[in-house]
Amino acid sequence: MITLIKKFLRTIIQAFRKATASSRPLPDFIIIGAQKAGTTSLYDYLNQHSQIKMSTPLKEVHYFSYDYSKGLDWYKSNFPIISNKERDNLLVGEASPYYLFHPHAAERMHNLLPDIKLIAILRNPTERAVSHYFHELRHNTESLPIMEALETEESRIEPEREKMLKDNTYESKTHQNLSYKARGRYAEQLEQYYKYYKKEQILVLTSEDLFNNTADCLKTVYEFLGMKTEIDNIDTTPSNVGKNKEELDKNVHQYLDEYFKEENKNLSQLINRDLPW
């Protein structure tokens, strides 16, 4: 009975949010990824700013990836109601880490939001891949040992990616969940966004920027968004930190470091900065 009541209430709330979509603005900026790189923490930090409103109740709206078929009113329903007077002094944002990797997200986003600002947070791809693997293991979406999962990744996700490219309505949980190495090929993912957006519209950060120099990183983000600097009252405790529950064979890191060696060089050249990994 309690479950039915909760489901009924969620339906009523969602219907109200969609009915008031015209009073809910589209976002001014989006955190596009990468997964397991600090998107949740940055979402939480920005949501504490007095002039920023993030999406709610969903942090990860995923409209431009697997929820695109739900339509524009559904997308707008995830943002707060803001009056015209308030709109002049507020920015609205969301954070969906699959956007960076999804093959259609950049084009879909540009078709609707050509002037938006985008933020990408990138993590050491070896560490990101390991963290991603354990995330899927905890959620029972992965059953293979880590080396087997890494070595067979292409055979699992490439057929799904081909289906997505041939049919832009096709969505794949395999592509989303089991892409440990592919998601760390950041340069080719950013290149997809640079096809549609000017480089000055995309701020590229690293996890090290965010967690080792949080105050300076947030100042950079505020400046990029054109907001006043607010640091003193921001709780910068990291959010959604996953924990690896087993020791890894050193061969795992060696395998991934070698795999990403050229990828990291390409990324460094693309964004014109030295990487901290």
| Those residues with Cβ within 8 angstroms of residue 129's Cβ, 6 or more apart along the chain or in another chain | 150, 180, 181, 183, 184, 256
pLDDT at 217: 96
Query: Under DSSP, is residue 118 helix (H, G, I), strand (E, B) or coil?
Result: strand
CB contact set of 175 (below 8 Å; sequence gap of 6+): 157, 160, 161, 164
* Every domain of the chain and the residues it spans: 27-271
- Split the chain (277 residues) into runs of 10 and give each run's mean pLDDT: 65 83 94 97 96 92 97 96 89 98 98 98 98 96 97 98 97 98 98 98 97 95 92 80 69 97 98 96
Q: Give the pLDDT confidence score for residue 270 in this predicted structure.
A: 98
Distance of CA 101 to the CA centre of its chain: 9
pLDDT of residue 2: 61
Cα angle for residues 76, 78, 84 (degrees, 5° grid): 55
The pLDDT, as a whole number, for residue 239 is 77
Contact 130, 146 (CB under 8 A): yes
* Domain covering 27-271, topology: Rossmann fold (3.40.50)
